[in-house]
Copies of this chain bind each other. A is one copy, B any other.
Amino acid sequence: MARQQRAIRTRRIFLEAAAEVFDEHGYDAATIAAILDRAGLTRGALYFHFTSKEELARGVLQEAVTSDGVSPQIFKLQEWIDIALLLAYRLPREPLLSASIRLSVDPRARGLFGTRWPDWITLGTEILTEAKERGELLPHVDPGATSRLFVGAWTGVQLITESMPEPPDLVGEISALLELILPNNAVPGVLARLDTSPHRPERILEENRTAAAS
């Protein structure tokens, strides 16, 4: 493995270890020792990439806004839906994503590092603006306001879902949230052709795997 590739991989191991520790204990209670222990690498390797816990938190937040895996669709609204559903699918499986929410929700960490919510809102606003230009949205829809409300709603639904004694599947909850709001946003001809099924993330990932293999 080339030196550069190894460095990228090592950096990623530290970010994921930090994310797991932030996720389990919160930012304040997380220690460098616990992160090293989780990563199973040396202190020297850590300090080559990150000089402090603060830098690790910033690195975790840096990774958190992603539309990875979402490919162009006939309707821009479908891309917006795909980002929301894929994130719901990935969040319980990827500590980097759940730690990023935990850091944003924690008022102290938020004071230190800010949140990625503005970036999510911007991403959604861009997609919805293009959807509107293409005539997919009803005339009254304000892309910026809808994106902002949806990022809030998505975050709160995730929080409440994970707090339940027997948490329902997050993808199912986000799918239901989309069905609650889409009828008042999409024009009827588009609405009927959107796929908000909770099974969509698995289908998207399967298609991506097939495309990568061919």
Contact = CB atoms under 8 A, between A and B. Distances in A.
Interface in A137-173: 145-146, 148-149, 151-161, 163-164, 173
Contacts of A117: 160, 163
Stoichiometry (number of copies): 2
Given A26-B108, A106-B106, A108-B26, A177 B153 contact: yes
Interface in A97-118: 102, 104-108, 110, 115, 117-118
Contacts of A164: 118
A145 B173 CA distance: 9
Contact of A184 (B151, B159, B183): B183
B149 A152 contact: no
A157 to B, nearest CB: 4
B163 A149 contact: no
A185 B179 CA distance: 11
A176 B145 contact: yes
A102 B159 CA distance: 12
B163 A159 contact: no
Contacts of A182: 184
Interface of A: 26, 28, 102, 104-108, 110, 115, 117-118, 145-146, 148-149, 151-161, 163-164, 173, 176-177, 179-185
